[in-house]
Amino acid sequence: MPDQEPSAELTVALRAASVAGEISKSYFHGEFSVDIKKDLTPVTQADVECEQAIRDIILDAFPDHGFYGEETGTTQADSENLWLVDPIDGTKAFVRGYPFFSTQIALMRRGDIVLGVSSGTMFGELAWAEAGRGAWLNDQSLHVSAIDDPDRAAISTGNLKSLAASAGWEQLGKVVARSDRIRGYGDFYHYHLLAAGKIEAVIESDVNILDIAALSVLVKEAGGTFTDLNGKPAGLETRSVLAANPDLHSRLLKNLRGFVR
């Protein structure tokens, strides 16, 4: 555990993630309604109930903060403190009954993401990080791998369909061909592995900020570099990810820059 007490914001975010986890577990493998949103992705009653619980907990504690949620929309978007929440990231997995889903809660302050909680509900993995205070998973300190040779790197990819449709598919093929191991752990899980030093890089496309905001803090506080595939830091418009230790990130970015948005 960190030597310092958690901030008020982190304490509240951890409590909100715990409550949301209990709600999602109560529905998993059970009966729940499923609707299809305009973007053709599913939303369940569990998503909505989890987000409402998170919203209530956070805004009760910090009524002057903004809130941007996957399901319930945005309030006070111009606040200098904006919470970014995906109550069940991996709803498709949730609907089909496999455990690759999580609760993602992050705090953006004046444009910088300064706090993140990532709860892999069915994995029993609770990860969190605050700017300048390190990254933690189930009370264990995290640090990215020191392997910086692409030939020795274990790389995980996400959303291969959109990567395959991009102009840089051949570039990615060259990276994959050089890697020691290529997997697609996906969603929250490959970022937990990356921050813990168990894999070396994550390459992903077709994301939005609510998917990866908390995870970006986790990776950075574990000593990694987290950008999009153009080398830009995570922000509200982020649509792709390259995350790795700093030296490997620099090497991979030379091959992948401009791949996708």
Claim to verify: residue 117 and residue 99 sit in the same structural domain: yes
What is the side-by-side strand order in the sheet with 240-244?
181-183, 154-158, 201-205, 240-244, 225-227
pLDDT the model gives residue 259: 63
For residue 26, the model assigns a pLDDT of 94
What's the number of domains the chain is made of?
A: 2
In this structure, the answer to whether residues 131 and 167 fall within a common structural domain is no
Q: Which of 85, 117, 141 is the last residue of a domain?
A: 141
pLDDT for position 181: 93
Q: Mark which of 119, 141, 163 sits at the end of a domain.
A: 141
Task: Tell me what pLDDT residue 158 has.
Answer: 92
Distance of alpha carbon 239 from alpha carbon 9, whole angstroms: 26
What was the pLDDT predicted at 2?
Answer: 67
Q: Which domain holds residue 58?
A: 8-141
Q: Is residue 86 part of a domain?
A: yes
Quick check: is 93 in a domain? yes
Whether 125 and 201 map to the same domain: the answer is no
Are 104 and 158 in the same domain?
Answer: no
Residue 227 lies in a domain: yes
Distance CA 18, CA 222 (A): 23
For residue 90, what is the domain's CATH number? 3.30.540.10
Residues 46-65: tens digit of each pLDDT: 999 999 999 999 999 999 99
Using alpha carbons, select from 100, 42, 113 the residue that is nearest to residue 71: 42
Find the distance separating the first CA and the last CA of the chain, reported in whole Å: 37
> Does residue 261 sit within a domain?
no
Examine the domain organization and report whether 40 and 129 are in the same domain.
yes
The C-alpha atoms of residue 63 and residue 234 are separated, in whole angstroms, by 26
Q: Tell me, yes or no, whether 2 lies in a domain.
A: no
CATH of the domain at 227: 3.40.190.80
How much is the pLDDT for 68?
97
Count H helices and E strands in the chain, helices first: 8, 15
Q: Identify the segments of the chain with pLDDT beneath 70.
A: 1-3, 258-261
> Is the same domain home to 133 and 154?
no
Location of structure tokens 């959303």: 159
| 162 and 48 housed in the same domain | no
Whether residue 72 sits in one domain with residue 182: no
Which of 141, 170, 204 delimits the end of a domain?
141
Domain presence at residue 101: yes
Q: Determine, yes or no, domain membership for 110.
A: yes
The reply to whether 40 and 156 lie within a common domain is no
Check residue 240 and give its pLDDT: 93
Residue 178 maps to a domain: yes
